Structure 1
Amino acid sequence: MVSKHFATHDTFVIERNYGAAPARVFAAWSDPAAKSKWFPKAEAFEFRVGGREFNRGGPPGGPVYTFDACYQEIVPNERIVYSYTMDQGDVRISVSVTTVEFKETEQGTKLIYTEQGVFLDGHDTAAQREHGTKIMLDKLGEELPDMFEPEKTQ
């Protein structure tokens, strides 16, 4: 009997440059109201080491996806590391470890998003996940200028 179960391991890296300071880009990830402007709104959001972020959603009439993350490390304004599972309906489709780095540049922030995943039984692929993540990071870039009150100058 041949098993229909298999695991595909893969890693992808996405880099984005944003015209905002690392503290503002970091806040777009750490503040639930700000994050909900570019990422599906969380049902649970505990931004602390050991804390959980949980949401469910999907396209109208389409499958329901469940994102269930646990924050592993947080270095304010520099790095976030979290592990997460992704389910489609009742089927686990992947398990990942993600690192988001915030590097100061002359123009603002270089964000480096690295995801190391195991994609299960052909339900998802790194290429599909990378495509969706790029869309979300582009949305972050669109929302970032209006996300917070203008920084006050001294």
Structure 2
Amino acid sequence: MNHSDVTHSTFVLERHIPASRGEVWKAFADPDMKRRWYAEGDQHEVEEFASELRPGSDQRLRYRFREGTPFAGVSITNSDTILEVVPEERIIASSRMAFGDNCISVALITTELQPEDQGTQLKLTFQGAFLPGADGPQIREMGWKTCFDRLEQQFQSKVAPIA
């Protein structure tokens, strides 16, 4: 492989989440909550999901595309290693994504949470190297935006307390 076979890309996503920093943190730290916004989706079936939020721990997501999708039956595996955790403030992880048996990307992902009026500012910085056969930076950014949409919807769908 020569150097031109690798595409490097960095993108930053920011999103206001209408929940306290503690509630947003729980959505990352609680495996059941994280599975709902991070792992599940309409176009794939989750085959494996494990998440633990502590330095040195591994997070693993494997899913298979459903019939009727462009890659029906193909498996995607995302393996992360948690590098740093500052509770309710920051998570830094290394990430490897494989399409079938082929590694298509590696990345450093930094997630930051800042309290603000009426909620939390969520910031994700993705620094990736995309290998031959990869989906590419635009598709990956779109995937993270979709995850953040689902995360935001979890908090927007909370029923207001009865006065």
> What interval of TM-score do these two structures reach, taking the shorter chain for normalisation?
0.7 to 0.9
Identity level (%): 35
Q: What is the TM-score with the length of structure 2 in the denominator?
A: 0.83
Q: Contact between 2:54 and 2:82, CA under 8 Å: does it hold in 1?
A: yes
1:87-98 to structure 2, matched below 5 A, reads 87-98=98-109
Q: State which of 109, 114, 119 in structure 2 corresponds to 1:108.
A: 119
SS at match of 1:130: helix
Q: For the structure 1 residues 16 and 73, does the alpha-carbon distance in structure 2 shift closer, same or farther, using more than 3 Å as the test?
A: same
After superposition, the CA RMSD in angstroms is 2.3
Q: How much has 1:4 moved relative to structure 2?
A: 9.8
2:20 maps to 1:9:
no
User: Structure 2: which 5+ runs fail to align?
Assistant: 40-45
Corresponding residue pairs, total: 149
**In 2, Cα distance between equivalents of 1:64 and 1:78:** 32
**In 2, Cα distance between equivalents of 1:144 and 1:32:** 16
Q: Contact between 1:46 and 1:53, CA under 8 Å: does it hold in 2?
A: yes
**In 1, Cα distance between equivalents of 2:55 and 2:2:** 37
**Cross-structure match for 1:25:** 24
Deviates more, 1:90-99 or 1:43-52: 43-52
**In 2, Cα distance between equivalents of 1:5 and 1:110:** 36
2:72 maps to 1:64:
no
Q: Contact between 2:35 and 2:49, CA under 8 Å: does it hold in 1?
A: no
**Cross-structure match for 2:137:** 126
**In 2, Cα distance between equivalents of 1:114 and 1:120:** 19
Post-superposition CA distance 1:104-143 (Å, at most 9, x none): 1012100001100000014221111001110111011011
Q: What is the TM-score with the length of structure 1 in the denominator?
A: 0.88
Q: How much has 1:36 moved relative to structure 2?
A: 1.2
**Cross-structure match for 1:48:** 54
